[in-house]
Structure 1
Amino acid sequence: MNRTHALFERLSALMQQAVREDAARHGLLPIQFQILGYLAQANRYSDIPIAVAEYFGITRGTVSQTLAVLEGKGLLRKEPDPRHGKRVHLKLTKKGEALLEETWTQRLDKAMPGDLNSREVLEEGLHTLLTTLQHLNNNQAFGVCQHCAHFLQEDGGWRCGLTGEPLDDRQRIRICREWRREAAPHG
C-alpha cells in the first residue's frame, strides 16, 4: 500500500468513526445522520427520495424506511411538489437543522488549511479525484450547481440550462443530482 492509499484509508476510517459518534449522540444510525447532512446541502432537484438513494447507493426501500424514522423523530418533513404530481421534497425541520450544528464537518473545517490558496488547491484536487472515481465506477456524479455544465449566468441571475428554471442564490451553491462536469476551457 502506498502512502496515498494509507492516508485515504485512515481519513475514511476517522470520518466514519466521527459520523457514528455524531449519530449515536442523537440516537440515530449513521445513515440516518448522513441523510440529514445530505439534505442540508441538496438543491430542489436533489432533495427527493430517489436522489437520496442514488447519492448513498442504497435501495429505495432503505431510503423509505429511513425517511419514515427521521420524519417520526421530527427531523424532516415531506413537502409535495406543486408541479410534479406525486413527487415530494424532503426538508429539514428546525430540530433537524439544530442536530447538524455541531458535527464532524465543523471539525473538518477547523482542520483544513487556513491559507485560501492551499485550501482551493486541495479542494480542486479532491474534486477531480472524486469525479474521476465516480466516472470509473459508473456512479451518479452529484456536484455543486454553480460548477455544472448546465449552470448559466444571465443578466440579473442564474438559470439551469437543463430545466430552464431560474436559480436563486441558495440553490446555486447546493448539491445537484443533475450535475455534469464543466467543459474544459479551450486554449
Structure 2
Amino acid sequence: MTIATLYLERLGALLQQSLREDAARHGLLPIHLQVLQYLAQANRYSDLPIAIADYFGITRGTVSQTLAVLERKALLVKQADAHHGKRIHLKLTPAGMAVLQDSWAERVQGALDMQAGGAALANTLRDILVALQRLNGQHAFGICRQCAHFRTDDGTTHCGLTNEPLAIEQTGKICREWTAPA
C-alpha cells in the first residue's frame, strides 16, 4: 500500500465516521443524509429515484424506503414532471436543506478551501474517480458544464444530448447523463 492509498483509506474512514455521526444527530441513517446531499447537488436529469439508485449503487427498493423516510420527516417532496408523464422529481424542503447545514460535506469543503492548489486537487480527484468507476464498471456522474454534451450557443446553454435548454444554475450540478469530454 502506498502512502497515497493509505491517505485515501483514512480520509474515507474519517468521512464515513463523520457521516454516521451527523446522520445520528438528525435521527437518520447515513444513506438518508447522503441522499439529501446528493439531491442538493443534482440537476433536473438527476433528481429522480432511478438516478439515486444508479449513483449509490443501491436497489430501487432501498431508494423507495429511503425516500419514504425522508418524505415522512418532511425533508423532501415529490413533484410530478410536467413534460414526462410519470416521472417524479425530488426536491429538498427548507427542513431538508437545514439538515445539511454544518454537515460533514460542509466541513470537508471548508478543509478543501484552505488548501493551496484546490483546482488541481479537484481535477486529480475527478480523474481518480473516473478511473475507478471505469475499472468497477460503474456509471459515471459528473458536473453538467464539464460534460461532452454541454453546449453554449449565442449566450444560451443547452444539452447536446437532449437539445433542451439549461438554466445556468443547473449547469454546475451533478448530471446522470454526463459523459467525459473527448
TM, length-normalised to structure 1: 0.95
Tell me the C-alpha RMSD between the 2 structures: 1.0
**In the alignment, is residue 66 of structure 1 matched against residue 84 of structure 2?**
no
Q: Give the aligned partner of residue 134 of structure 2.
A: 135
Q: Give the aligned partner of residue 39 of structure 1.
A: 39
Q: Give the aligned partner of residue 78 of structure 2.
A: 78
Distance in 1 of aligned mates of 2:32 and 2:91:
14
Q: Give the aligned partner of residue 5 of structure 1.
A: 5
| Structure 2: stretches of 5+ with no match in the other structure | none
Counterpart of 1:112, as a letter, is L
Shift of 1:38: 0.2
User: Counterpart of 2:82 in 1: which secondary structure?
Assistant: coil
Shift of 1:30: 0.2
Counterpart of 1:75, as a letter, is L
Q: Give the aligned partner of residue 90 of structure 1.
A: 90
Distance in 1 of aligned mates of 2:113 and 2:135:
29
Aligned 1:114-153 pairs, distance under 5 A: 114=114, 118-153=117-152
**In the alignment, is residue 180 of structure 1 matched against residue 162 of structure 2?**
no
Q: Percent identity, aligned pairs only?
A: 57
Distance in 2 of aligned mates of 1:28 and 1:172:
30
Shift of 1:115: 5.7
Distance in 2 of aligned mates of 1:91 and 1:43:
10
Distance in 1 of aligned mates of 2:59 and 2:102:
29
- Matched residues, number: 182
Deviation digits for residues 29-59 of structure 1 (CA, Å, limit 9, x no counterpart) = 0000100000000000000000000000000
Q: Give the aligned partner of residue 110 of structure 1.
A: 110
TM, length-normalised to structure 2: 0.97
